[in-house]
Structure 1
Amino acid sequence: MPAPAASHPRTVLVTGGARRLGRTIALALAQAGWQVAVHYRSSIDEAIETVAACAAFTPTDGYFDADFENEAAVRALLPRVVAHFGSVDAVVNSASMFEHDGFDSFSYALLEQHLRSNAGAPVILAQALHEHLQARAAAGEAELQGCVVNLLDQKLWNQNPDFVSYTLSKAALEAAGTMLALALAPRVRVVGVAPGLTLTSHMLSDERFGQLHAMSPLGRSSTPEDVAAAVRFALDNRSITGTTLLVDGGQHLMRFERDFSLM
C-alpha cells in the first residue's frame, strides 16, 4: 500500500492491541512506520503501556476502549479513531472471544456472544473503514486503498468438536472476509491470517505447550512475530484480497482430535 499524502500518515486500528498477540502486531506495525490506534476492552494499563512502546518507533498516542458485544460501541469506534488521528487506512481485527463449549454445553447465549465479538464487530469495522475511505476519495485523495486483516484460526481447516461457538464465529468471519472482499473492492482489500498454536494459556503448562508447538510438518507452529509479519505483508501487498494466509507451520495439514488446550 503506497504511503498516502503527508497530511494523512498511515494509521491502523489494531483491535485487542493491548496485550498478547495484538500487542505484538501493534509493535511490529509501529516499527514499520504505522501510527497505531490500540483498541482494548478492559485492559487499560496494558493499552497505555503498548501505546508507549509503539511511540518509540512512530508518533502514537491513541488507545480506545470498546465492548465488542455492544453494537453501538463498535459503530462508534472507528469514528473516534478518525477524530483523534485525522484518518485511518487499515484495520487489523485481532480481538477475539475464546470461551470453551462443546456440543454437550452449547447454548444460544454463548454462540451469540462469540458471533457479536468475533464476526459482527469485524464486519462493522470493515464497513466503517470503507465509508471513511470513500469520503476521503470524494474529497480528492487519489489512489486511495485501505485494508482489513482478520485474524482467523487454523482450526477452520482442521476441525475438532471443541470450542464450538468460537469455531462457528471464526467460520462466519472467514466467510464474511470473502463477501467483504467482493463488496468493498476496489477501495478496501480484505485478507485473513490464520495462526496455529501461537501462545500458551492457563490451560497448558510451558512444557506441554512446547510439545504441542512442535507438532507440525515444519517442527514448529507460529510465533507472535510470524503472525505479525504476515499481517504486515497483507497490509502492504496491493494484490491480495479475499484469501487467507495460514501461518501455522503446516498444522492445518495434520489431524488433531481435540483442541490443543485439551490435548
Structure 2
Amino acid sequence: MLKGKTAVVTGASRGIGRAIALKLAKHGANVVVNYRNSVDAVQEVVKEIEALGVKVLAIQADISSYTDVENMIKKSVEEFGSIDVLVNNAGITKDGLLMRMKEADFDSVIDINLKGAFNCTRHVAAIMLKQRSGRIINISSVSGLTGNAGQVNYSAAKAGIIGMTKSVAKEFGSRGVTCNAVAPGYIQTDMTEDLPAKVKDTIMGTIPLKRLGRPEDVANVVAFLATDEAAYITGQVINVDGGMVM
C-alpha cells in the first residue's frame, strides 16, 4: 500500500517508533529511521527493515535542534527524492510534581516532544505542499487529553501536539496533505516496563480491555493513516488506549 513511498519516523530505534518503522516498511515504504543515542538498537532496526526488501536510511539527529532536523530532511530527500510520510514520534519523559519540577526538566520535554514535532513538520512542509500530497502523523498521548498528575511537562507537550495537528490540518488540507494525531494509552515500552506492579494493577483497572497496549497496536493505526485509504481523514485524534479515555 506504500510501495515507492518514503517515510520519516522520529525516535524509531525502539518502542513505538520501532514498531511504526517496521510496519511502514512491511507496507512497502522506504524508511528514514531517526535516532538520537541508541546506536546498537537502531542498527538492529535497520537490519530488520532491510530484510523486508525496502530501502532504509538511519540518521542521527536531535529533533529539538532546528538545524539538525533541516540537515536530516535534506539527507532524506537526497537519498529518496521525496518525503511522503512524516511520523513525529520521538519523545521523552521527565516526570515530577509541579512543585518539585526543575525548569530544565520542563524545557527538555517541551523541546523534544513539542518543538521537535514543529521542527520536523516545518522542514517537510515545502516538500509535501509542492507535491500536493503527504501524510503527517503525530504521536500524542491520552495524557494530552486528560492531564496526568506528575506529568505537567509531558501533558502540556502532548496537548500542544493536538493543537498543532489541527492547525496544520487546516493550513495544509487544500494541498492534499493530511495531518492527524494518534493518542496512545499505556503501551508496553521502556517507559512502562519499570512501573511497580501495584501501579500497573491500578492502571489495568481503568482499561476496559484489561491489558496494556502493544507498540504494534499504535503502529497499525499509524500505517492506516499513512495510506490512501485514509485520504479523507485529517485533523483527527485517534485514541489507542483500550478504551481508557472515552
- Cα distance, 1:209 vs. partner? 3.9
Which residue of the partner structure matches residue 149 of structure 1? 137
How far residue 87 of structure 1 moved from its aligned partner, in angstroms, is: 1.4
Contact 1:89 1:129 in 2 (8 A): no
Offset of 1:210 from its aligned partner? 6.7
Corresponding residue number in structure 1 for 2:187: 198
1:248 matched to 2:241? The reply is yes
Match of 2:221 in 1: 230
Which residue of the other structure, out of 105, 111, 117, is the alignment partner of 1:110?
Answer: 105
Q: How many Å apart are 1:83 and its aligned residue?
A: 1.2
Q: Which moved more, 1:14-23 or 1:55-64?
A: 55-64
Give distance in 2, aligned partners of 1:62 and 1:148. Answer: 19
1-side partners of 2:148 and 2:163: how far apart? 19
After TM superposition, give the deviation of residue 133 of structure 1 in Å: 2.5
* 1:186 equivalenced with 2:181 (yes/no): no
Aligned AA for 1:229?
N
SS of 1:252's equivalent in the other structure is coil
- 1:118-166 C-alpha deviation (Å, 9 max, x unpaired): 111212212222201234x3xxxxxx41011111111123323211111
In structure 2, the residue matched to 1:120 is 115
Identity percentage over the alignment?
28
Cα distance in 2 for partners of 1:38, 1:244 equals 24
TM-score by length of 1: 0.84
CA deviation profile, 1:186-241 (whole Å, cap 9, x unmatched) = 33211100111002535325786477346412223422111011101111210111
User: Does the aligned pair in 1 maintain the 2:204–2:212 contact within 8 Å?
Assistant: yes
Q: Which letter maps to 2:77? A: V
Q: 1:92 to 1:220 in 2, by over 3 A?
A: same
CA-CA distance at 1:3 after TM superposition: 5.8
SS of the residue 1:57 aligns to: coil
Q: CA deviation at 1:108?
A: 3.4
Matches within 5 A, 1:172-183: 172-183=160-171
Which residue identity does 2:137 align to in structure 1? Answer: V
Given that residues 35 and 58 in structure 1 are in contact (C-alpha distance below 8 angstroms), is that contact kept between their aligned partners in structure 2? no
2:85 paired residue among 90, 106, 114:
90
Gaps (5+ residues) in structure 1?
138-143, 254-263
Q: Distance in 2 between matches of 1:108 and 1:252?
A: 30
2:58 aligned partner:
63
Q: TM-score, normalised by structure 2?
A: 0.90
Q: How many residues align?
A: 241
Structure with larger Rg = 1
Q: Structure 1 158/239 Cα, relative in aligned 2: closer, same or farther at 3 Å?
A: same
Does the Cα contact within 8 Å between 1:153 and 1:194 map onto a contact in 2? yes
2:152 maps to what in 1? Answer: 164
Task: Please state how far the C-alpha of 1:84 moved relative to its aligned partner.
Answer: 1.7
CA distance in 1, matches of 2:208, 2:193: 26
Distance 2:173 2:75 in 1: 24
Change (3 A) 1:213 1:15: farther
2:42 maps to which residue?
Answer: 47
> Pick from 1, 8, 11: which aligns with 1:16?
11
**Cα shift at 1:69:** 2.7
3-state SS in 2 of match to 1:104: helix
Aligned-residue Cα RMSD (Å) equals: 2.1
Greater shift after overlay, 81-90 or 219-228?
Answer: 219-228
Between Structure 1 and Structure 2, the one with more helix by share is: 2
Give the deviation of 1:17 after TM superposition.
0.6
